[in-house]
Chains A and B, each alone.
Chain A
Amino acid sequence: MEKYDKLEKVGEGTYGKVYKARDKVTGQLVALKKTRLEMDEEGIPPTTLREISLLQMLSQSIYVVRLLRVEHVEKNGKRLLYLVFEYLDTDLKKYIDTYKRGPNPRPLPSRVTQSFLYQLCKGVDHCHSHGVLHRDLKPQNLLVDKDKGILKVADLGLGRAFTIPLKSYTHEIVTLWYRAPEVLLGATHYSIGVDMWSVGCIFAEMARRQPLFAGDSELQQLLHIFRFLGTPNEDTWPGVSSLRDWHDYPQWKPQSMALALPMLESDGIDLLSKMLEYNPSNRISAKDAMEHPYFDSLDKSQF
């Protein structure tokens, strides 16, 4: 890895460290994700395997983080795998935090929320149209270039090609706060709706500057959702009572989304309600979301 100057450690994943580095020849900034391979019972982690092969397929979209190359190196008899990504300076979580904390707390400019949500839908649509579910969309996994106002989908470690569903999917996916109700209720087959639910939660989080549903257990997570959107039933979500983990829950009526999220105008509220639709088959797709009137005031030609 003499090709790169390591500048600083920017993160630590399950399987190794992430460095900010500079390509010595081109001067390009990159993120190096290191995976140790040697003397390991597991071999290449399944998450790394999926991330590499899915990113190779998806990297041509500018709304998905670009995997520049995979470097397989040997050093002192140890074998290492470096994933070389383009470098972006921050992520959406840190970006939201700068508006929440610091000397001058203020809402995100609504233009930024609109533009980021549009780019997120573009990235997600790109994954879905290639048969890939992301399954772990959350602000930490969305990389942001502050100056250029660009947002990209990253971290496809939990991504799944849904082209060959061999066995039913695990429901151990997606950080709790962004997890769709069908997953929380134990659905064994799910689809693009799980990602769109997460997109809705992220949309609301940009508007509120804090998570929409911050549960600390699966049950608490469901109750947060039910309290806000009303407890679902066979009328609002046909089939819900036959899901594996369905129980009799307290009955809540839906709250007014417009009152809870006064910073969003009516088109924004309408789009959010379509993303947080209970019935996964009625939940809006990324492609349709991009055509929603909420984006009418956005100059789409720049994307």
Chain B
Amino acid sequence: MPGVGEMEAAAAELNAQQAVGAVANALEKLVARNDLVTAATIAEEGGGKGRGVAAFRGLRRPAISIEKYMERIHSYSLCSPACFVVAFVYVDRAVHRRPDLLVGSLNVHRLMLTSVMVASKFFDVMAQSNAFYAKVGGVSNAELNNLEIELLCLLDFNVNVSSHEFESYLSHLEKEMLASKTHPNFANHSGIGGQQNYV
């Protein structure tokens, strides 16, 4: 099968810190940008109990950064580092299918918790239960079950990721990371906004 060899190498070499760092970096930029857009509307709506896109929105911004949150998920669940990249793919797919899904500081934690869990269930040989992820992520088991089905409906159950897709997302995330390190002041202007194929 073409690409399987390289894929294996890329997925196996990926270390958790790099994967979490790169995904967090891309998400933080996205959240910062979207929060400016949504600041006006959020205050008017409730959070947490909705259906569809609204289900992921919390009432207040969690104190923990998205990077620390993902580190926490990884250290407890021991999912493959590649699951963070795959989770980013899911969020990107969801955003493309549902333009009303704005990834912001009120929903990014729940989106990533659910996405990482689903990625691990799909790709890892052994995955932790929803109950486990709920405890680690600080939501109830019932809510996470609900978020799981909402995410899958947003994705139309399309949770497979080809090696080609994985590679191109990974290299995009790594480039973004590099750009942020070398030009921190321009971080908000580089990449994501201009790259139509990604978040």
Inter-chain contacts of A42 with B (CB < 8 A): 129-131
Q: Which of A39, A49, A81 contacts B122 (CB 8 A)?
A: A49
User: How many residues belonging to B are interface residues under a CB distance threshold of 8 Å?
Assistant: 41
* B121 sits at the interface (CB 8 A): yes
Q: Which of B86, B118, B144, B157 has the most CB of A within 10 A?
A: B157
* A168 sits at the interface (CB 8 A): yes
CB atoms of B160 and A39 under 8 A apart: no
Q: Which of A46, A56, A131, A165 contacts B162 (CB 8 A)?
A: A131
Q: Kindly state the separation between the CA atoms of A191 and B173 in the bound complex, as whole angstroms.
A: 30
What is the interface of chain B mostly: helix, strand, loop, or mixed? helix
Measured CB to CB, the closest approach of chain B to A298, in angstroms, equals: 28
Inter-chain contacts of A169 with B (CB < 8 A): 125
Q: Which of B122, B144, B166 has the most CB of A within 10 A?
A: B122
Q: Output the nearest chain B residue to A170 by Cβ-Cβ distance.
A: B125
* B187 sits at the interface (CB 8 A): no
CB atoms of B160 and A54 under 8 A apart: yes
Q: Kindly state the separation between the CA atoms of A49 and B12 in the bound complex, as whole angstroms.
A: 23
Interface members, chain A 49-100 (any B CB < 8 Å) = 49-50, 52-54, 56-57, 70, 72, 79, 81
A37-B145, A163-B163, A164-B163 known; A46-B7 Cβ under 8 A: no
Q: Which of B1, B117, B129, B156 has the most CB of A within 10 A?
A: B1
Q: Output the nearest chain B residue to A55 by Cβ-Cβ distance.
A: B157
* A40 sits at the interface (CB 8 A): yes
Inter-chain contacts of B178 with A (CB < 8 A): none
CB atoms of B149 and A162 under 8 A apart: no
CB atoms of A44 and B152 under 8 A apart: yes
Q: Which of A49, A165, A166 has the most CB of B within 10 A?
A: A166
Q: Which of B1, B125, B153 contacts A131 (CB 8 A)?
A: B1
A40-B130, A52-B157, A72-B153 known; A46-B86 Cβ under 8 A: no
Q: Which of B124, B141, B152 contacts A167 (CB 8 A)?
A: B124
Inter-chain contacts of A13 with B (CB < 8 A): none
Measured CB to CB, the closest approach of chain B to A166, in angstroms, equals: 4
Inter-chain contacts of B86 with A (CB < 8 A): 164
CB atoms of B145 and A164 under 8 A apart: no
* A161 sits at the interface (CB 8 A): yes
Measured CB to CB, the closest approach of chain A to B141, in angstroms, equals: 6
CB atoms of A41 and B131 under 8 A apart: yes
Inter-chain contacts of B176 with A (CB < 8 A): none
* B158 sits at the interface (CB 8 A): yes
CB atoms of B122 and A43 under 8 A apart: no
CB atoms of B149 and A166 under 8 A apart: no
Q: Kindly state the separation between the CA atoms of A261 and B56 in the bound complex, as whole angstroms.
A: 60
Q: Output the nearest chain B residue to A167 by Cβ-Cβ distance.
A: B125
CB atoms of A41 and B160 under 8 A apart: no
Inter-chain contacts of A37 with B (CB < 8 A): 145, 149
Inter-chain contacts of B136 with A (CB < 8 A): none
CB atoms of B122 and A46 under 8 A apart: yes
Q: Kindly state the separation between the CA atoms of A72 and B151 in the bound complex, as whole angstroms.
A: 13
Chain B 111-124, CB-CB to A under 8 Å as 1, else 0, gives 00000011001111
Q: Which of B11, B149, B158 contacts A164 (CB 8 A)?
A: B11
Q: Kindly state the separation between the CA atoms of A170 and B127 in the bound complex, as whole angstroms.
A: 12
Q: Which of B4, B122, B129, B166 contacts A162 (CB 8 A)?
A: B4
* A23 sits at the interface (CB 8 A): no
Q: Output the nearest chain A residue to B130 by Cβ-Cβ distance.
A: A43
* B177 sits at the interface (CB 8 A): no
Q: Output the nearest chain B residue to A161 by Cβ-Cβ distance.
A: B160
Chain A 29-42, CB-CB to B under 8 Å as 1, else 0, gives 00000000111111
A42-B130, A165-B11, A166-B82 known; A53-B158 Cβ under 8 A: yes
Inter-chain contacts of A164 with B (CB < 8 A): 7, 11, 82, 86, 123, 161-163, 166
Chain A 185-210, CB-CB to B under 8 Å as 1, else 0, gives 00000010000000000000000000
In the complex, besides A41-B130, A42-B130, A56-B158, 9 extra interface pairs with C-beta distance below 8 angstroms are A46-B122, A46-B127, A52-B157, A72-B153, A131-B163, A162-B1, A162-B4, A163-B161, A170-B126
Pairs A–B under 8 Å by Cβ, sample size 5: A38-B145, A42-B129, A43-B121, A43-B145, A164-B11
**B residues adjacent to A (C-beta < 8 A):** 1, 3-4, 7-8, 11-12, 80, 82-83, 86, 117-118, 121-127, 129-131, 141-142, 144-146, 148-149, 152-153, 156-163, 166
**A residues adjacent to B (C-beta < 8 A):** 37-44, 46, 49-50, 52-54, 56-57, 70, 72, 79, 81, 131, 161-170, 191
Going nearest first, the 8 A-B pairs with the smallest beta carbon separation are A43-B130, A41-B131, A166-B80, A46-B121, A52-B157, A163-B163, A53-B159, A170-B125
